[in-house]
Amino acid sequence: MPKEDHFGKVDSSCHGLIALPAEERWGLLWVHPDPDGILDLETKLGRLANELDSWDLERYSYRGGTVFEHPMNWKLAIDTFGETYHFNTLHRNSLAQDFYGNVQTYDCYERNHRTMLCLKNIDTLRIQKPR
């Protein structure tokens, strides 16, 4: 504990750090919350492991983020804000300018889920010639 004298007496037997199974892979840090747990990313992620590998996230760095704090149930947030069918009507002058409304994917990978929205600039891929 750096600068231990700044904290006063600390009983490390009940406030100390414990080692957890952890692994850095695909530009992400994965940690199992159980000290005796087994971190088996291939089993937990299934087909998503290969996809994460292809994204080459190691080349990116964190530049900050935005936090919106609202007291609500997480399920309400996902069900309310995780769909796009209302974009063309309610957000025609903002989000609908960049996203296709009512177009998204939802994939399940064991206990993991992914949803993706469709940006309109995907249309630029239609005119690109294959390499």
Residues 10-69 pLDDT 10s: 777 776 778 999 999 999 999 999 999 999 998 888 888 888 999 999 998 888 888 878
Quick one: 42 and 84 in the same domain?
A: no
**Residue 44 forms part of a structural domain:** yes
Please report which confidence band the pLDDT of residue 4 belongs to, taking 50, 70 and 90 as the band edges. confident
Say yes or no: 72 and 98 in one domain: yes
Compute CA distances 111 → 2, 12, 108, whole Å: 38, 35, 7
Q: Is 22 helix (H, G, I), strand (E, B) or coil?
A: strand
Around Cβ 8, how many Cβ atoms within 10 Å? 6
Examine the domain organization and report whether 55 and 74 are in the same domain: no
pLDDT of 1 > 80? The answer is: no
Q: Which of 122, 125, 119 is nearest to 87 (CA)?
A: 119
Q: What is the mean pLDDT of residues 95-103?
A: 89
- The answer to whether residues 54 and 38 belong to one domain is yes
Q: Which of 20-34, 51-65, 70-84, 98-112 has the lowest mean pLDDT?
A: 70-84
Tally of domains within the chain: 2
DSSP annotation of 109 reads E
For residue 15, give the H/E element and its range. helix 12-15
CA angle 40-52-118, nearest 5°? 135
What's the mean pLDDT in 80-98?
A: 85
For 27, the domain range is 10-62
Using alpha carbons, select from 34, 38, 2 the residue that is nearest to residue 18. Answer: 34
- Sign for the CA dihedral angle at 57, 75, 40, 23 comes to positive
- Same domain as 39, residue 53: yes
Q: Is residue 121 part of a domain?
A: yes
User: Is there a domain that residue 4 lies in?
Assistant: no
Q: Is residue 130 one of the residues assigned to a domain?
A: no
From start to end of 1-131, where are the E strands?
22-25, 28-31, 99-109, 112-119
Q: What is the pLDDT at residue 66? A: 83
Answer yes or no: is 100 within a domain.
Answer: yes
119, 70: one domain: yes
Residue 95: inside a domain, yes or no? Answer: yes
Per-residue confidence (pLDDT) for residue 38, from 0 to 100 = 94
Higher pLDDT, 53 or 79: 53
**% the chain with pLDDT above 70:** 96
81 and 58 belong to one structural domain: no
